[in-house]
Structure 1
Amino acid sequence: MTLEFKTYDKWDDALWAAIEPLYREAFPHGAKPVGILHAMLDKQIAWLHTGYQDGKLAAMAVTGLSGPAGERMLIIDYMAVDAGLRGQGLGRQFLELIRDWAVQKHDIQAVLIEVEAGHTEEDAARVHFWEHCGFIATEYVHQYIWIPEPYRAMVMPLTRDFAITDDGQALFRRITDFHRKSFRKSGDTGV
């Protein structure tokens, strides 16, 4: 099953209307508000990706970049596959399409995500999926003040010289910096 992969760098209300049900189903808690996602594309700090199978939306993702050239990583902020299509390899295929796009367009060195670090079966299944795709879990567990569940960084190195230099805190600083930029109002210098 081949996915038709598309990447968008501009907000489109009609496109979002088609994507939003999948986004809401996959992320009932902790999802960024639509206005923030819209602003992320407007500020050119994020992309919206879709995967279509037989003309029907099968997967979606929101990504952004972190770090200077030579150390650039792609952050997967959200990625979801339609619940009825899971278990068929579409998630891995979609991830590979995103990764290949980012390598070609942005010369990334790694792909970075944050996953729930709880002890539920669902949390373990998510970690297993990402490990199966080539991600390495870090030890550091981050506790946000506004979200009850803890998170850990997972990284997929894409170059031989990529190294995790600590227990994952440095990677998490990249993630939290991306979140700060996501929520920063346009024109806000952060000073």
Structure 2
Amino acid sequence: MTLTLRTWDSWDDEIWQQIKPIYEEAFIHGAKPEKIIRQMLDRQIAFLHGGYEGDELVAMALTGLGKNDAQQTMIIDYMALRHDRRGRGEGRLFFELLRNWGIAHHRINAIIIEAEAEDTQENRERIVFWEKCGFQPTSYVHHYIWIPETYRALVLPLQPDFQVTDDGQQIFEQITDFHERSFRKLKNKTSTRSRKGKS
């Protein structure tokens, strides 16, 4: 079983139409609208990833970079495996590809995710998955003003000098900033990022 990663830093509607079914199936609640995802790529604050076995798309992810110049972090906003591919270890393989991409292309010091904090079987299973990938849950529980669910941050340090110095609130400041930048209205300005798209 071999997966390969393809990454886009600009909007490609044909690629999105392939990724969209996996995204919508996995994130019935709490998914960002397509318009916002397109805007995130247009604003150069996000990357869209596809996981392929040969030419077959089996996974997707949406990531961004945290705003911390001293310790560069990568935020995994969404990551999903196609439903018929689950339970085969491919989720961890796909995550490893994302991790390696972040290290190679952006020299990241840590990876951050957020997970629903409510104690349900489904949420516990998600936390266990991320812990198997090396993530450490933080104790701080965040309440967004616009949604009822509560969330906690998980962090995967990639450098020995990366430390969480509080209960996770500083980590959530980066996550919140990323979300705020995602929903901020797009201004008309010329893109400075390479428009080649796929990397």
Same fold (TM over 0.5): yes
Distance 1:82 1:117 in 2: 24
Tell me, yes or no, if structure 1 residue 87 matches structure 2 residue 87: yes
How many residues are matched?
188
Partner of 1:15: 15
Unaligned runs of at least 5 residues, structure 1: none
Retained in 1: the 8 A contact 2:4–2:97?
A: no
Partner of 2:72: 72
What's the TM-score, normalizing by structure 1?
Answer: 0.96
Retained in 1: the 8 A contact 2:73–2:112?
A: yes
Retained in 2: the 8 A contact 1:63–1:77?
A: yes
Listed as ranges, the matches of 1:43-58 within 5 Å are 43-58=43-58
Distance 2:40 2:93 in 1: 25
Partner of 2:143: 143
Secondary structure of the structure 2 residue equivalent to 1:57: strand
Secondary structure of the structure 1 residue equivalent to 2:39: helix
Retained in 2: the 8 A contact 1:140–1:167?
A: yes
Partner of 1:109: 109
Partner of 2:195: none
Unaligned runs of at least 5 residues, structure 2: 189-199
Q: Alpha-carbon deviation of 1:187? A: 2.7
Q: Alpha-carbon deviation of 1:151? A: 0.5
Retained in 2: the 8 A contact 1:66–1:174?
A: yes
Aligned partner letter, 2:86: R
Bigger RCO (CA 8 Å, 6+ sep): 2
Q: Alpha-carbon deviation of 1:70? A: 3.4
Q: Alpha-carbon deviation of 1:68? A: 3.4
Secondary structure of the structure 1 residue equivalent to 2:176: helix
Distance 1:52 1:81 in 2: 11
What's the TM-score, normalizing by structure 2?
Answer: 0.92
Distance 2:68 2:165 in 1: 17
- Greater displacement, 152-161 / 140-149: 140-149
Partner of 2:39: 39
Partner of 1:131: 131
- Greater displacement, 67-76 / 98-107: 67-76
Distance 1:102 1:70 in 2: 16
Q: Alpha-carbon deviation of 1:67? A: 2.4
